[in-house]
Amino acid sequence: MALKTEKAEIDGIQDVEAFTANMVQLADISQQIWQLYSETHTPDETAPEPDPMNLAPAFASLTQMMVQNPEAMMKASMDYWSGQMAIWSSATTKMLGGEDTSDNLPNLTEGGRRFSHPQWSENALFEYVKKSYLLTSQWTQKLVEDNDRDLGLMERKKVEFATRNFLEAMNPANFFALNPEVIEATVDQNGENLVRGAQMMLEDMKRGKGELLIRQTDMSGFEVGRNMALSEGKVIWQNDILQLIQYAPTTAKVHDTPLLFIPPWINKYYVLDLNEKKSMMKWLVAQGHTVFMISWVNPDERHKDHTWESYLFDGALAAIDKVLEETGTKSVNLASYCIGGTLTGTLMAHLGGKGDRRVKSATFFTAQLDFEDAGELQVFVDEQTVQLVDSQMDKGYLPAQTMAKAFNMLRSNDLIWSYVVNNYMLGKEPFPFDLLYWNSDSTAMPAKVHHSYLESFYLNNAFAKGAFTVKDAPVLLSDIEGPVYHIATVEDHIAPAVSVYRGARQMTSADVTFVLSGSGHIAGVVNPPSLEKYQYWVNTDLSPDSLEDWKDRAEMTPGSWWPHWDGWLASHSTKKVKGRQPGAKLGQIEDAPGSYVKARFDA
């Protein structure tokens, strides 16, 4: 048995004096944590909303459906207890040194890397705890899925999301006394791991101003402008919403038509410029493109009056005009990402309806325009939850941590619980990872912009239904004109490929090239050719009703889709000109990446 069992004054502990001193230190840090929490959560605070996600109605409907099917419930219960008895019998036999009876056990998943420690399989007790949990988890999820089929789409998403998150929270690996790796570390290190973990928790609560802001990487290992967002360029124009970056050319000749990026403002743009090996900016410049990037402001109380149209006209359209002024061209190619693509869609519809030709082509990265089935984030959006979010924006903006928590909950096993154990129980600093640093570099959002986004798109699907207006005039997806390149990713849980495809098909006035990439919302986009990873499918025929039928007729190519897109972009630039130095006409304000992107709310 790997766990130490040598006898000392305290079982298993080799240095009782050191262990005692560490426990005293642990108690002191725990007191500091409690004091910080008490200071930031006053007794007269409004009581938290008991059902912030409005789950009760969905679970009430689910319960009613279960009650109406007693025979199926009885069979499911019998199957569950039969499985538990088989697991207990196998564990008892193993503890007594009997023959292996695992062939009689129910079919269970392995449980993933959270059960990778050998003791989860070698020690009969821990193996029983693991298998009992896995059986309960699988049984519960199947029970929900078998009974929620008659629920509405939103109710079904809510109960399945909440069930999964509850089960992930109950994973025995999350509990000190049930996790053999934590017990072993505590014995081997005389409790020093717990002291380090408590100190990290205190530091994370200080960063979160009383809320636990879990570190997912070594926060000191990265800095924007030092070892991230390093592509050479200048900020050539700014207003109170954005800074406009122009990247320096690395080729003697460049395509005449410039390329402007409209990134999301939910996260920061530099996911496209993480480092030299992963930088789409560096790669595009090397292909001979004049690249501009919008760097959105990280808003605070000063931006409380900004609206969706502020971001559209004072943001995207103002940047387009400045790019045209700087380059002397009559049109620009646009590239957009996520919510930046949703904004671009409304902009393109507005321009198309007016016959405005300032945009030659538009590219959409994992951007939703039809929100009928808009992915897992929908579980956070209904009329009640929108009202609750509004109440949290009393200062005129949505706090950065609120959005970060929502995204982390979508993958709680990977982005919450694994770090709770690694950081606070094992006392290990998380591994340095640039993408997770970017993920933790959260942004706020102006209240009116966020309300409009949730209500108009997620709640009402107004754009796809022809009910969205720009300057009081309705705009339609069919108003979007010109060549369009639409990229979706297979494993995207934020902008599901089926949802992106549905929106692309409604661009009936545009020449749409639809591309499906391997991997997910980030890795499927940030996939440099040099990595030789994943694959992509291309099919310009959008007549199939389903994405599956479209994919069956598409051509698959191994590797990155970037070269395919580069060829598409080149086809929409008629000639080459001398490389353009940043700010030749508008001037230079500061070096890229600029000051807006460096603003953090957890510093």
Which one, of 104, 175, 163, 106, lies nearest residue 137 by Cα? 163
In a domain, 209, yes or no: no
Please check whether residues 482 and 555 belong to one and the same domain: yes
As separate numbers, helices (DSSP H) first and strands (DSSP E) second, the chain gives 21, 17
- Give the domain extent around 547: 233-375+463-598
In a domain, 381, yes or no: no
Please check whether residues 497 and 355 belong to one and the same domain: yes
pLDDT-derived band at 406 (thresholds 50, 70, 90) equals: confident
In a domain, 458, yes or no: no
Please check whether residues 167 and 242 belong to one and the same domain: no
What is the token pair recorded at 554?
Answer: 């598409």
Q: How far is CA 233 from CA 255, 262, 290, 392, in A?
A: 17, 17, 11, 37
Please check whether residues 493 and 355 belong to one and the same domain: yes
Domain boundary among 188, 205, 221: 188
Q: Which of 338, 379, 522, 547 is catalytic?
A: 338
Please check whether residues 163 and 297 belong to one and the same domain: no
**Arithmetic mean of pLDDT, 113-120:** 94
Question: pTM here?
Answer: 0.92
d(CA 408, CA 12): 37
Q: How far is CA 313 from CA 306, 350, 516, in A?
A: 11, 11, 30
pLDDT-derived band at 182 (thresholds 50, 70, 90) equals: very high
Average pLDDT, the chain: 92
How much is the pLDDT for 7? 42
The answer to whether 178 is a known catalytic residue is no
Please check whether residues 124 and 271 belong to one and the same domain: no
pLDDT in tens, 308-365: 999 999 999 999 999 999 999 999 999 999 999 999 999 999 999 999 999 999 999 9
> Rounded to the nearest 5°, which phi and psi values hold at 262?
-115, 95
Is the per-residue pLDDT at 43 higher than 70?
no
pLDDT in tens, 51-63: 888 899 999 999 9
Q: Is 543 exposed, middle or buried (0-12, 13-18, 19+ CB in 10 A)?
A: exposed
Determine the 3-state secondary structure of 255 from DSSP.
strand
Determine the 3-state secondary structure of 594 from DSSP.
coil
pLDDT in tens, 137-154: 999 999 999 998 888 888
In a domain, 562, yes or no: yes
How much is the pLDDT for 315? 98
Is the per-residue pLDDT at 375 higher than 60?
yes
Please check whether residues 261 and 352 belong to one and the same domain: yes
Please check whether residues 289 and 172 belong to one and the same domain: no
Please check whether residues 481 and 336 belong to one and the same domain: yes
**548 C-beta neighbours (distance < 10 Å), count:** 10
**Arithmetic mean of pLDDT, 5-23:** 74
Please check whether residues 271 and 172 belong to one and the same domain: no
How much is the pLDDT for 48? 63
In a domain, 34, yes or no: no
**Arithmetic mean of pLDDT, 210-235:** 93
Share of the chain above pLDDT 90, in %: 79
Please check whether residues 181 and 267 belong to one and the same domain: no
**Arithmetic mean of pLDDT, 544-565:** 97
Determine contact, residues 394/46, Cβ cutoff 8 Å: no
In a domain, 368, yes or no: yes
Task: Check residue 543 and give left, alpha or beta (phi > 0: left; psi -120 to 50: alpha).
Answer: alpha
Determine the 3-state secondary structure of 558 from DSSP.
strand
pLDDT in tens, 183-222: 999 999 999 999 999 999 999 999 888 889 999 999 889 9
Cis peptide before 593 (omega within 30 of 0): yes
In a domain, 407, yes or no: no
Q: How far is CA 529 from CA 22, 285, 559, in A?
A: 50, 15, 6
Chain CA centroid to CA 566, Å: 26
pLDDT-derived band at 164 (thresholds 50, 70, 90) equals: very high
How much is the pLDDT for 6? 41
Please give the tally of structural domains in the chain: 2
Please check whether residues 237 and 182 belong to one and the same domain: no
Domain boundary among 157, 188, 219: 188
Looking up residue 587, the CATH number of its domain turns out to be 3.40.50.1820
**Arithmetic mean of pLDDT, 237-264:** 98
Domain boundary among 188, 209, 242: 188
What is the token pair recorded at 602?
Answer: 């957890």
In a domain, 503, yes or no: yes
How much is the pLDDT for 464? 96
Chain CA centroid to CA 237, Å: 30
**334 C-beta neighbours (distance < 10 Å), count:** 27
